[in-house]
Chains A and B, each alone.
Chain A
């Protein structure tokens, strides 16, 4: 059963997500966006996605793990290399996951 808390959470997440999507879709083209705002917006995807990934890769057990046995570290480096050389998203996902699962099978984790 859906609890009240869950319903409020979903509604809240809907509202904040819609606030990121709808307003600029309607406003840009009708009003001029300040330069400083559009400049800052360009950095949002890289900053947010990197801040999500880095701890998962480098701190799998809540402490910094730079050992070669760290499956996330090796798979992450391989994925970065493939994305950089090929810019192919599906290839990056496929090879990155294959390396991750192989490493985990070899070294546990």
Chain B
């Protein structure tokens, strides 16, 4: 029996840290299957954008954030200046702050040697998997979290390597239209999030602004459009909440 953090729950007697780790990796499997084409595609696109092999490898090893890696490689290919690439990367990855804020209360007792790597490995996919486990208050949740993180990270880096090899072998891979996979994936993530009017207006304003600002240099239209969408959503939410407060008062 495990000597670490035993509780009265019978589950904790059988669920060792090791088992929780493996369970976390196993529960992440559907997400891994979804990430495989992107990892491969990123490897191929990175090469065709003009990055060196080591740079493409480095993106996946040190940045480890799929959509921003795509956009970053794309901006490099278009010759966009570095400060703009970094600001865009930050904006695109800002959604991770939302996940971090949501996980914060569950990990507040963990030491830094856990928080530092778990923070680095935070992705859309791992968040979606581990938040359900944390909410059920199951034992060894941080081991489960680690299992999910390492499974995603290993897969992403292996797929990047495969993509680099494929991209150098088949020059047409990058222009094959597979890059549209990123768009349909994002649509599949966005649509279920639009659950009320403020969210819908947020998406609508972001879309229209992104079209108007598309010709602007350095892709700063993306940042302007995202800010406009957020502002529109927040304003509508506050406006909707105001009369209700009056009523209840």
B243 CB–A CB distance under 8 Å = no
CB–CB A16/B193 < 8 A:
no
Q: Which residue of A lies closest to B186 (CB)?
A: A49
CB within 8 Å of B: which residues of A? 1-3, 5-14, 16-30, 33, 36, 38-59, 62, 64, 71-72, 75-76, 79-80, 82-84, 87-90, 92-93, 96-97, 100-101, 104
Interface size on B, residues (CB 8 A): 87
CB–CB B86/A12 < 8 A:
yes
Q: Which residue of A lies closest to B109 (CB)?
A: A29
Q: Which residues of B contact A59 (CB under 8 A)?
A: 211, 214
| Nearest CB of B to A58, in Å | 6
The segment out of B11-19, B93-101, B156-164 that lies at the interface is B93-101
Interface of A, helix, strand, loop or mixed by DSSP:
helix
CB–CB B193/A25 < 8 A:
no
| Nearest CB of A to B150, in Å | 16
CB–CB B206/A28 < 8 A:
no
Q: How far is the CA of A12 from the CA of B230 in the complex (A)?
A: 25
Q: How far is the CA of A87 from the CA of B98 in the complex (A)?
A: 21
Contact A10-B92, Cβ < 8 Å, known A43-B234, A50-B207, A51-B225: no
11 pairs, CB–CB < 8 Å, chain A vs chain B: A16-B90, A21-B97, A47-B226, A51-B209, A52-B183, A54-B211, A54-B225, A58-B211, A59-B214, A76-B184, A96-B184
CB–CB B51/A6 < 8 A:
yes
| Nearest CB of A to B30, in Å | 7
